[in-house]
Amino acid sequence: MKNILIWGRYGNYGPDYPRNRVIESVLRDLGCTVSRFLPVLSPLADWEYVLRGGRPPDLVWVPCFRQRDLAAAARYARRHKVPLVFDPLISSYDKQVSERRKFPADSPRARRLLAWEARLFQAADVLVADTQGHADYYHEVHGVPVERIRVIPVGAEEALFRPAPLRQRPADAPLELAFFGTFIGLQGVEVLAEAIRGWDGPAVHWRLIGEGPLKERCAGLLDGVTHSRIDFEPWGPLAELPGRLYRADAILGIFGDSEKALRVIPNKVYQGLAIARPVITARTGAYPLELTTDDTAASGIFWATPGDPESIRQAVRRLHAARDHLPDLSAAARHTYESYFSNRVIADVLRQLVNP
């Protein structure tokens, strides 16, 4: 039995963050003992752990977003000859420079941030990427050797997001499509709103769940639309989310065309596939190649073009034309989840990390 130490202060993303819960759950399923160390001061955490009487684990795991915990964790791991794994989920440099554009890439501040983060990423024995797109980015931008990067999909909390049968509807009932998210630019919610505003096909019920900075903008774009039923719904408890999604015929993913958007697979796609619902989302290099080269929706995924509202409408038309086959599409979606993104797939990679 391996002892895994989760090392990090977590910040705004605590141990209950979905990615952290999935990783810890799968590690326990593999027979590992998982403990948490939440240091008071990240820069001195290696000394703090020793002073608290902490014993060397078999592996140190620094969870997502905790770049600031990595330096002390790396010092401790080196001194005790313990493997160190870091699961950043995102790059601080990518977020601040490419996504938020807080300062130009050629500015001294951006160069310092990249150099700082590259040193941290290279200090880990294994750097985890959630998609191949991020793996390539960490290698090309941060200089992490390919052989030290492992791809582990985010997946879904399978005890919560379980497959459920489609609701029985009259043949003439509107197709019900659900989006849920934080209404940020990465998700391409304005692109989705433009697609809804220009919809000219059969009846559709659009449900937009969540809160965020662009929600008001989207509501403004859709104000006065009469050709479809459009409902904006607030967030609720996470445990209630699957039930709200079960009402939908399909789940809407993300449609942004930023560099970062092209590298991520969002929670909503994993969770939509996990509950056995077809998904409409942007075709990007973040997905396995065999999925993105399929235009038949045999995977349960209907592809759109990033940043293109008309391509979203075309995907909805294809789904609408196939609505008699929704049970088959539902089964295909779940099969795609199990084959590429499930806890079983995650376990295969984690097993190799804890038992090299």
Residues 6+ apart with CB under 8 A from 352: 150
Concatenate the DSSP letters of all residues of 108-131 into one string: HHHHHHHHHHHHHHHHSSEEEESS
Given a cut of 70, whether residue 12 has pLDDT beyond it is no
168 — pLDDT class (breaks 50, 70, 90): confident
Q: Looking at the predicted structure, is the pLDDT value of residue 11 above 80?
A: no
Share of the chain above pLDDT 70, in %: 99
At the fourth CATH level, which superfamily is domain 175-341? Glycogen Phosphorylase B; (3.40.50.2000)
Q: Position 270: which residue type?
A: Y
**Mean pLDDT on 300-325:** 97
> Could you report the per-residue pLDDT of 111-144, keeping only the tens digit for each?
999 999 999 999 999 999 999 999 999 999 999 9
Domain-wise residue ranges, the chain: 3-157+342-354, 175-341
Predicted confidence at residue 13, as pLDDT, reads: 65
Nearest to 157 by CA among 354, 341, 348: 341
What pLDDT is attached to residue 10? 72
Q: Is the dihedral of CA 178, 182, 184, 187 positive or negative?
A: negative
Q: Which residue has the tokens 């399923």?
A: 29
One-letter amino acid of 206: W
pLDDT for position 14: 66
Q: Using CA atoms, how far apart are residues 162 and 221, in angstroms rounded to an integer?
A: 34
Q: What is the per-residue pLDDT for 171?
A: 81
CA distance 286 to 131: 6
pLDDT at site 152: 97
Centre a 10 Å sphere on the Cβ of residue 331 and count the other Cβ atoms it contains: 13
* % of the chain with per-residue pLDDT over 90: 86
pLDDT the model gives residue 99: 81
> 74 φ, ψ to 5°?
-65, -40
Confidence of residue 333 (pLDDT cuts 50, 70, 90): very high
Within 24-98, strands assigned E span 33-37, 59-62, 84-86
Distance CA 234, CA 240 (A): 12
Tokens of 64: 């997502």
Between 296 and 144, whose confidence is greater? 144
Question: What is the homologous superfamily of the domain 3-157+342-354 according to CATH?
Answer: Glycogen Phosphorylase B; (3.40.50.2000)
Q: Give the whole-angstrom CA distance, residue 282 versus residue 292.
A: 10
pLDDT of amino acid 182:
94
CB atoms inside a 10 Å sphere around CB 164: 16
Closest CA to 291 of 282, 280, 299, 281: 299
Structure confidence by residue, pLDDT tens digits, 241-289: 999 999 999 999 999 999 889 999 999 999 999 999 999 999 999 999 9
pLDDT tens-place string over residues 58-98: 999 999 999 999 999 999 999 999 999 999 999 999 989 88
Q: Which segment of 107-111, 166-170, 208-212, 234-238 scores lowest on mean pLDDT? A: 166-170
pLDDT in the model for residue 262 = 94
pLDDT of the residue at 320 = 95
